[in-house]
Chain A
Amino acid sequence: MKTASLTGRAAVVSLALLFSLLVAWHLATRDTGTAQRMDPEYAKLMGVTATQGKSAMPGPIDVGAKLWEHLRRPFYDNGPNDKGVGIQLAFSIARVLTGYLLAILVAVPVGFLIGMSPLMSKALDPFIQVLKPISPLAWMPLALYTIKDSSLSAIFVIFICSLWPTLINTAFGVASVRREWLNVAKTLEVGTLRRAFTIILPAAAPTILTGMRISIGIAWLVIVAAEMLVGGTGIGYFVWNEWNNLSITNVITAILVIGIVGMLLDLMLARLTRLVTFPE
C-alpha cells in the first residue's frame, strides 16, 4: 500500500514537471517578435524567421502536431530518400540488433575466457584497455575503406561499441563467482565445461546482463551518429535530412522518438536481468 502511494505521488510530480516544462517551452517560443519592415516583393522571397522575426525554435504545439503527423503514417515510402519514421526506425533497429547480437556472441565467450583464466586476463588486458576508449565513430572511415559497404560499416561500428561493456562485465562476473561454490564443484570433480555452464553462468548471469544492458544503450546512442555520417536510411539519416532542411520541428520530433525507442530497448534488457537475478 505504501509503495503504491509512492508510485502515485511520483507520477503526480512527473506530470507536474512535464506540464510546467511544456508551459515554459510554449511561453519561450510564443513570442513572434516584431515584424521587419520590408519591401513586399523582397519579403515574398524571405522566410518567416526573417520577415516576422519569428523564433526558429518551434513550440510544443508545433512539435505535437508534427509528431502526430509522423505517427499517423509511419510507413510511407516516397522513394529512397524520403521514407516514414517507422521505416527509418526499423532500419536503425535492425542495424543495432545485428551489430549488438554479433557483439554478444563474441563478448560473452571471450569474457568467460578472461574471467576463468588469469593468464588470458593479463595477456588481453592491454588490448582491451587501448581499444575500449576509442570513439566508435573513429572506426567509421577505416570501416568504410576496408569493408567497402556503408551498411556493413554501420553494423561494424555498432559491434565494436557494444563489445566492451559486455566483455568487461562478463569477465568481472565470471572472475567474482564465489570461491566456495567453485570449491564445492572441485570436490565433486565437475568438468570445466560443466562447471562453466552449471555454476559460473547462472552465478555471473546478472552481471553479464547488466553489461548487455549498458551495451544496448551505447549501441542505440551510436547508431544515430553513425547514420548521420553515412546517410541513406535510418533514424540518424532522418535527423540529418531534416537538419539539412533546418526543420527544428522535425529534429525535435525525431529526438523524442529516439528517446522512446532507447527507453524500450533498455526496459527489455532490464526485464531480462530481473529474470536471472537470484537472492543470495
Chain B
Amino acid sequence: MRWPLDRNLADFIESPVMQIIGTAGVSLRPEIGRGVGAWCDDLRTIHLVVSAWQWPQTIANLRDNAQVAVTFARPTDYVSYQIKGTATVREAEPAEIERSSLYTVAIVSSLMKLGLMPEMIAPWLSKREAMLVSIDPSSVFVQTPGAKAGTRVWNSAP
C-alpha cells in the first residue's frame, strides 16, 4: 500500500492554506473548527494544532468518536483538498505551538497580500489551550471548485 499522502500534498498542507475541521459526535450534530498549523513529516499522519478554548465542541467530538474531516484551501487560487479519517487528541507541546506560530505568520502574510487587514484575520487564529489533533487519513478528496470537486484521489480501503 502506498502512503495516503505524497510529498506534493504534504507540502500543500504545510503551506499557508486555510484549515477547517468538521466533526460530529454521537449526537450527529456537525461541528466546525479551525486549525492553526498542520504538518505530516512521515506522509502518514497529519498533525493539526487546534484551540480547545475557541473550538471546545470540536475537541469534545473528536474524543467522542474520533471521526474527522479537514479541508485545506489555498486562499489565492481556491485549490482545496478534503481529508477524512480518524483522529487522536492531546495537549500540544511547546515545540508544536512554536511550529503553529510559524504557520500563523505565514497565513497572515498571505491573506494580507489579498487585501485583508490583520485585525480582521485575528479572530480566526487562536492558539489558546492548543491541542494537537493527529489524523490517520482514510480518504483524500479534491475540493477545488470545478468539475473535479468531490473526486476521491485516495482511499485506504484495498
Partners in one complex: no
